[in-house]
Amino acid sequence: MSFKIIVFIKQVPDTDDIRWTEQNTIQREGLESVINPYDIGAIQLAKKIRLLLEDCKITAVTMGPLQAKAALKEAIAMGCDNGYLLCDKKFAGSDTLATAYVLSQFIKTEANDFDLILSGYQAVDGDTAQTPSSLAQKLNIAQITSVKELIEINKEYSLWQKETPEVTQNIKIYHPALISVNINNAEILPDINGYIKAQTTDITVLSAADIEADITKTGFAGSPTQVKKAFRPEITRATERLSFENNGQISDYIIKLINKCKEQDEV
Amino acid sequence: MKFNTLVYIETNNNTIEKVSKEIIAHARQCFKDNEICGVVVTDEITTILEQFKNAGLDKLFVIQNPLLKKFNVSAYCDVLSQLINDIKPSVFLMGATANGRELAPRIASKLEIGLTADCTDLQLDENSNLLATRPTYGGKMMATIISKTTPNFATVRQGAFKHKQFDVNNTEVCFYTPEMSCLNLFLSQLEVLKTEIKEPKEDWTESEIIVAGGLGLKSKENFGLIYKFSDLIGAKPAASRAAVELGWASHDIQVGQTGKSVAPKLYIALGISGALQHISGINNAQKIVAINTDNNAPIMNIADFAIQSDAVDVLNNLINKLSN
Ligand SMILES: Cc1cc2nc3c(=O)[nH]c(=O)nc-3n(C[C@H](O)[C@H](O)[C@H](O)COP(=O)(O)OP(=O)(O)OC[C@H]3O[C@@H](n4cnc5c(N)ncnc54)[C@H](O)[C@@H]3O)c2cc1C
């Protein structure tokens, strides 16, 4: 039996290229889209596994609009074996919970015999690293978050190095499992064979009905969290503009503030 | 109707995480008419009970089991979800720590409730619904998020609120014993073979005075004056992202949305323009002094004291004065 890896990827705006509108929203027209950099880290580790295990297959999956096919083609050019696009109007506006639900329905209907799910630790377009954990719970599987390196793998279990600001850990996990990969500087340059494969491989597009998704749990309507208002932070300090004759006076003033700060509770 | 707020209290080596105390203090002060409850998962409560004195909790739920000594996300998710189903809090909060970021989405997913992550402000509306505010659009805007599901669930960024001790000390301690038949399964799925705890760095964000430098200092050499001056006055140095990106300072001391949030008594900003992403990290400072050559820089309208001058000259003058 082959070893099956699912890599979840996300198409994000190229952050090196972000422009802002007058209203402080992201200007989406003309914006380049790329694969979320952390997801490329996940593809890189998946390819490493394929080198170590015989008969291993890497499937790239994303939820998004039809344009997201391009990201899947790119993932295949980078070395994934095939790609699925979860695309339905009823998915639009999904929050984390609804997104994790859609991804879990894909797994349950199309890939229930998977061994590992790999995903990026977070998406650079402002998502908050919640989706992988949420998905792992929906599938009732164990997870390791913020993995930097694969140490060892066989079909039954694998060993990973996890790193957070506080600790570095070596963790053994039994399959099936979910690994979120915290590598944001991976670079995979597709070769000519990769490009040919991407061109000749069809992306399977699946709708809500195809993955038997309950549409009351997807999209905007199925998302429990909603933005009530968006605003510019208000600054409520009464600014005092101070003028001085020279830098010596400025220094004296600042030193006075510092001393006040050390002696009293209020400055 | 009586509302209650439940706070998950994270411990690390038998010490309560700072962010947990900050959340309790904020809830105690701002969530009127709410009973403020905490829950702690531990192998042994007696060693940490002392730390709950004066923390401001009405009630503390203790889930105690030797098998829960180490954090295991599936197991912690399971026992906490059971408690939530039993006591039905209206609001559930936890810190956006490394563990919190892993645990919170799992609990939300299990209970099928909404979750607002990494909040910088929390308020209740007149019906005790949670208004959870967080940065959005790369920090250019703030968004206030509501949830249709109960409990209203949010994780909170460390430093968003100020920790406070309360005079009252009448926390009721309740032991909660969840059903644990799945525990062994969860623990057998995953095994931590080795843990290296990184050298805990001194927490500079707690300093009463912080001296921060930005691009207006013009060079790495000039930025060195920030270290020198803060050293002389017993303050801690900090930097804007632009200064960090140029390699003048390490990312550890970056202030702002993608850095640290600070709440010193005095924040001295030298050569910093005051972009919203920077300001969002210093909103809770008691007093802000800005020194900038450009009177129209945003920070000059935000600071308590705005001084138009060359930051490098002022730093040199200060260092001279203080060294004599
Ligand atoms: C998603 C995102 C997240 C971000 N997160 C952060 C963050 O966490 N923290 C952060 O700081 N930024 C953050 N930024 C960047 C932020 O938008 C600004 O670019 C950055 O704060 C600018 O740094 P600065 O004030 O040092 O530089 P500038 O904006 O270039 O300002 C330099 C200032 O120095 C003044 N000046 C020039 N010469 C002198 C002199 N001789 N003496 C005194 N003043 C002088 C100038 O008038 C100017 O006001 C983020 C941006 C994005 C998009």
- Chain A interface disruption, residue of B125, B305, B310, most A CBs within 10 A: B305
pLDDT surpassing 80 at residue A22? no
Q: Whose CA is nearest to atom 46 of ligand 1?
A: B216
Which pLDDT score, from 0 to 100, does residue A24 have?
Answer: 46
Q: Is A148 helix (H, G, I), strand (E, B) or coil?
A: strand
- Report the pLDDT averaged over residues A199-228: 95
Low-confidence ranges of chain B (pLDDT < 50): none
> Domain containing B84: what range?
3-188
Task: Dihedral sign for Cα A107, A109, A110, A112, please.
Answer: positive
Q: Which residue has the higher pLDDT, A28 or B27?
A: B27
Q: Structural domain tally of chain B?
A: 2
Same domain for B289 and B227: yes
- Residue B179 inside a domain? The answer is yes
CA distance A159 to chain B (A): 9
DSSP-derived secondary structure for B58-109: SEEEEEE-GGGSS--HHHHHHHHHHHHHHH--SEEEEE-SHHHHHHHHHHHH
**How far does the centroid of ligand 1 lie from the alpha carbon of residue B292, in Å?**
11
Residues with CB under 6 A from ligand 1: B 138-139, 214-216, 240-243, 254-259, 271-273, 275, 277-278, 291-294, 297, 310-312
Pocket test for ligand 1, best of B240, B309, B310, B312 (most atoms within 8 A of CB): B240
pLDDT surpassing 90 at residue A1? no
Q: Please, are residues B288 and B279 in contact by the beta-carbon 8 Å criterion? A: no
Q: What is the CATH number of the domain that holds B149?
A: 3.40.50.620
Which pLDDT score, from 0 to 100, does residue A208 have?
Answer: 98
Same domain for B240 and B316: yes
Considering the entire predicted model, what is its pTM?
0.82
Beta strands at A240-242 and B59-64: parallel, antiparallel or unpaired: unpaired
Task: Give residue A20's pLDDT band: very low, low, confident or very high (50, 70, 90).
Answer: low
Which pLDDT score, from 0 to 100, does residue B136 have?
Answer: 77
Pocket test for ligand 1, best of B142, B226, B273, B295 (most atoms within 8 A of CB): B273
Q: Please, are residues B172 and B55 in contact by the beta-carbon 8 Å criterion? A: no
Same domain for B228 and B104: no
CA distance A108 to chain B (A): 16
Same domain for B107 and B82: yes
Task: Give residue A16's pLDDT band: very low, low, confident or very high (50, 70, 90).
Answer: low
Question: Cα B21–B25–B31 angle (5° rounding)?
Answer: 135
| Nearest by Cα to A6 from A144, A159, A176 | A176
Average pLDDT, chain A: 91
Burial A200-236 (b: 16+ CB within 10 A, else e): ebebebbebebbebeeebbbeebbbbeeeebeebebe
- Residue B105 inside a domain? The answer is yes
Which pLDDT score, from 0 to 100, does residue B198 have?
Answer: 83
**How far does the centroid of ligand 1 lie from the alpha carbon of residue B225, in Å?**
18
The CATH number corresponding to A3-217 among 3.20.20.70, 3.40.50.620, 3.30.830.10, 3.50.50.60 equals: 3.40.50.620
Same domain for B178 and B65: yes
End of a domain among B156, B188, B220? B188
End of a domain among B129, B159, B188? B188
Which pLDDT score, from 0 to 100, does residue A174 have?
Answer: 98
Same domain for B167 and B38: yes
Same domain for B10 and B151: yes
Same domain for B209 and B61: no
Q: Where are the domains of chain A?
A: 3-217
Tell me the pLDDT tens digit for each residue of A54-111: 899 999 999 999 999 999 999 999 999 999 999 999 999 898 999 999 999 999 999 9
Q: Which two tokens mark A140?
A: 């009732």
- Residue B197 inside a domain? The answer is no
CA distance A149 to chain B (A): 14
Tell me the pLDDT tens digit for each residue of A2-12: 999 999 999 98
Which pLDDT score, from 0 to 100, does residue B305 have?
Answer: 96
Tell me the pLDDT tens digit for each residue of A121-178: 988 776 678 999 999 999 999 999 999 999 999 999 999 999 988 899 999 999 999 9
Q: What is the CATH number of the domain that holds B267?
A: 3.40.50.1220
Same domain for B212 and B180: no
Q: Whose CA is nearest to atom 17 of ligand 1?
A: B275
Same domain for B175 and B37: yes
pLDDT surpassing 80 at residue A236? no
Which pLDDT score, from 0 to 100, does residue B179 have?
Answer: 94
**How far does the centroid of ligand 1 lie from the alpha carbon of residue B215, in Å?**
6
